[in-house]
Structure 1
Amino acid sequence: MYAEAQEAGDAVARQFAANADIVDDLAERLHKHPPRFIVTCARGSSDHAATYGKYLFETQLGLVTASASPSVGSVYAIQPKLDGALFVTVSQSGKSPDLVRNAEIAKAAGAHVVALVNVTDSPLAQIADTVLGLHAGPETSVAATKSYLCSLAALLQLTARWSNDAALFNAVHALPDGLREAWRQDWSPLVDGLVDAHNLFVVGRGLGLGAAQEAALKFKETCGLHAEAFSSAEVRHGPMAIVGPGFPVLAFAQDDGTGDGTVAVAREFRSRGAPVWLAAPGVPGGDVLPTARSVHPALTPLLTVASFYKAVNALSVARGHNPDLPPHLNKVTETV
């Protein structure tokens, strides 16, 4: 896990180069035939990437984006009305039967199917109209790391090209070096503080919500630590009642309009006596986790997660776990 997460910057650079022409062709098609809406379909870490994609598509393109429930197609055998939609499915292996089935349904319904996959000859890739290979290379640790970051990067590259936003397009080129810088950040205070923890919240918002979801999953699968992810807005609607002394919180703040609210929630929880770790670009303070420089808010979640992966690997080892082989889990989960 450590070696694979460390390679994320190189993997993303490789992906950008390999996919440039494919992304250009897809963006041109989408300009000529704009979709009525976007639907994402994924599970696990890939679904957290899809959460990022939703906020990216809606904030940068203004296109309503919904998450498909795979069981609707695979178990209930319902065929949603997807004519004119862009159907984006994300899967490292491209083998999960329910994702394959939903892609088949979407294509038959008239959607343009885009598959983000690390295995480009997988069943899912064979169905898709457009395949964006993740080019993460072999990933043997059960916990997805570089493939997750490559999924976000593929969504980012497509959105930058599709939106014709010069600032975003130029920012994309800074991502590989940003990921390398993020890996060098020292989050050891988080590791030391959670060695004996039993529960925690991870909060984020907007473009950073998917990062919070991914962090909560990694705490569970690699550290045996129960964690729940919440929007820093939604956490106020009930869940915050249990936060107090001895209940840790990790907060990921964005460098955009959602950032102040997330920082305020973190400070409120700290005032209650809760142990709080805050990652917030541009926010000063000795109690703030260091972050790599982000040239655009859309890059910030990827940089935050890269730093987090290094820390959670160390936490797993400190808690006596093997981060590469979590109990009861397999690298490929084939749900139907």
Structure 2
Amino acid sequence: MPNAAIDGRTTLMEREAGEAAAAVAAMLAANRDAFIAIGRRLRASPPVAVVTCARGSSDHAATYAKYLIETMTGTPTASAALSIASLYDAPAVAGNRLCLAVSQSGKSPDLLAAVEQQRDAGAFVVALVNAEGSPLAALADVVIPLSAGVERSVAATKSYIASLAAIAALVAAWAEDDALEAALTALPGQLEQAFALDWLPAVAAFRGATNLFVLGRGYGLGVAQEAALKFKETSALHAESFSAAEVRHGPMAIVGDAFHVLAFGGTDRAAASVREAAAEFRGRGATVLLADGDGDLPVIAAHPAIEPVLMIQSFYRMASALALARGQDPDSPPHLNKVTETL
């Protein structure tokens, strides 16, 4: 892919996304023993449920965790409504749960309140956090440092990818899944390849867009959510994410020849429905770009759980270029701060 600096600049967002491969390699190496120990504990005392605590991009990583945990271990997994603890002071029922907290800063008050609530109710707390000395790290039973380093761009990139990789490593250790373990070994090198893929056709296609759907399903739903957020915060482009199944329950009625769609495919069964929805929307005249082996945007074939991680890496570089093409600064979006301290 040519340099993404449409107006002669290379953004912090692009540079930091390009550091994801090194961050993931460092995170996996530093936490190898911790993942093994977590997996051993979860097998010895299987939790009845997993509660994820996160907001923003980190909550999109939690969506990925839900699909990976439920498909590989069968353990029900749900995202906590953080306001239940921070605004309503409602108690949590005691029980043997895994609380998986995901955060870049580890500082948001509502996140901390929810994690503390889960811990006090007997949950085993694992924190995936980029700031090792954060208040969240102090609450956790086990801390997995994401090793992404400082992110100066408001738009999170490498820390999100490191979160996905950490979730995959935790689940691989828990499920003792050799195929996923092997895929994680190859991931840093594949991230470098994914960053070099040419997604610039999406810049031309979406430069003048006003409304956009982002589709995914299964393991790919979390990155569809993340891409929709990045369209909004970096390009001021109204975008919504949907499961390729859920989009058929009403939202598809508004898709026509003035609409734009980005679809994340892949090689597993879930991706087949993404391709079907993309084809239907294309037939209605919508501008559709499909990231898939036989699609409009190139992808790298890998383990089905790893393919979305690679696709979001390709997306980030394109998103930086698109923001510049639309006259936006992806590093300093209006009205946003790096740490959102919600109550």
TM range (shorter): over 0.9
Are 1:291 and 2:303 matched, yes or no? no
**2:337 pairs with 1:330:** yes
Q: TM-score, normalised by structure 1?
A: 0.97
Match of 1:4 among 5, 16, 19: 16
* Amino acid in the other structure paired with 1:312: A
Name which of 95, 99, 103 aligns with 2:115: 103
CA root-mean-square deviation:
0.8
**SS of residue paired to 1:113:** strand
- Cα pair 1:160 1:172 within 8 Å, conserved: no
Q: How far apart are residue 171 of structure 1 and its match?
A: 1.1
2:307 corresponds to: 300
Deviation string 1:179-204 (CA, Å, 9 cap, x unpaired) is: 11100110111101111111100010
- CA-to-partner distance for each residue in 1:272-323, whole Å, 9 max, x for gaps? 110000011x3x2xx52101232x0000110010000000000001111111
Mapping of residues 235-314 of structure 1, within 5 Å: 235-280=247-292, 282=293, 284=294, 288-294=296-302, 296-314=303-321
The corresponding residue for 1:21 is 33
Q: Distance in 2 between matches of 1:24 and 1:253?
A: 31
- Residue 22 of structure 1 and its aligned partner are, at CA, apart by 1.1
CA distance in 2, matches of 1:30, 1:59: 16
Give the corresponding residue for 1:132.
144
Whether the aligned pair in 2 keeps the contact of 1:207 and 1:254 (CA below 8 Å) is: no
What displacement does 1:29 show? Answer: 1.2
Q: Unaligned stretches of 5+ in structure 1? A: none
The corresponding residue for 1:90 is 102
For residue 258 of structure 1, give the secondary structure of its aligned residue in structure 2: helix
Tell me the SS of whatever aligns to 1:116.
Answer: strand
d(CA) in 1 for partners of 2:94 and 2:178? 31
- Residue 76 of structure 1: which of 69, 88, 91 is its match? 88
Which of residues 311, 321, 324 in structure 2 aligns to 1:317? 324
Instruction: Give 3-state SS (helix, strand or coil) of 2:168's partner.
Output: helix
Structure 2 CA distance for aligned equivalents of residues 62 and 293 of structure 1? 26
- Does the 8 A contact of 2:67 with 2:219 survive in 1? yes
The answer to whether the 8 Å contact 2:130/2:147 transfers is: yes
Amino acid at match of 1:291: V
- Give the 5 Å matches for 1:135-214: 135-214=147-226
Q: State the distance in 2 between where 1:199 and 1:266 align.
A: 16
The structural deviation recorded for 1:205 is 0.5
Task: Choose the corresponding residue for 1:33, options 30, 45, 50.
Answer: 45
- How far has the Cα of 1:254 moved from its partner? 2.9
Distance between the aligned counterparts of 2:257 and 2:41, measured in 1? 54
SS in 1 for 2:269: coil
The letter of the residue matching 2:56 is: G
Residue in structure 1 matching 2:71, options 35, 45, 59? 59
Amino acid at match of 2:171: T
* Distance in structure 2 (CA, Å) of the matches to 1:255 and 1:117: 30
Task: Give yes or no for contact 2:267–2:301 (8 Å, CA) kept in 1.
Answer: no
Report the AA paired with residue 199 of structure 1.
Answer: N
TM-score scaled to structure 2, two decimals?
A: 0.95
User: 189-198 vs 213-222, which deviates more?
Assistant: 189-198
Report the secondary structure of 1:69's partner residue: coil
Q: CA deviation at 1:82?
A: 4.3
Q: Which amino acid letter does the alignment assign opposite residue 202 of structure 1?
A: V
**1:25 shift after superposition:** 1.4
Give the whole-Å Cα distance in 2 for the aligned partners of 1:217 and 1:132. 25
Q: Does the 8 Å contact 1:39/1:88 carry over to 2? A: yes
Percent identity over the alignment?
56
Query: Counterpart of 1:153 in structure 2: which amino acid?
Result: A
* Paired position in structure 1 for 2:3: none
How many residue pairs end up in the alignment? 331
* Structure 1 runs (4+) greater than 4 angstroms displaced: none
Asked if the contact 1:205–1:254 (Cα under 8 Å) also holds between the matched residues in 2, the reply is: no
The residue type equivalent to 1:68 in the other structure is A
Task: Provide the C-alpha distance between the structure 1 equivalents of 2:166 and 2:228, rounded to a whole number of angstroms.
Answer: 22
Letter in 2 for 1:238: G
CA contact (8 A) 2:266 2:301 kept: no
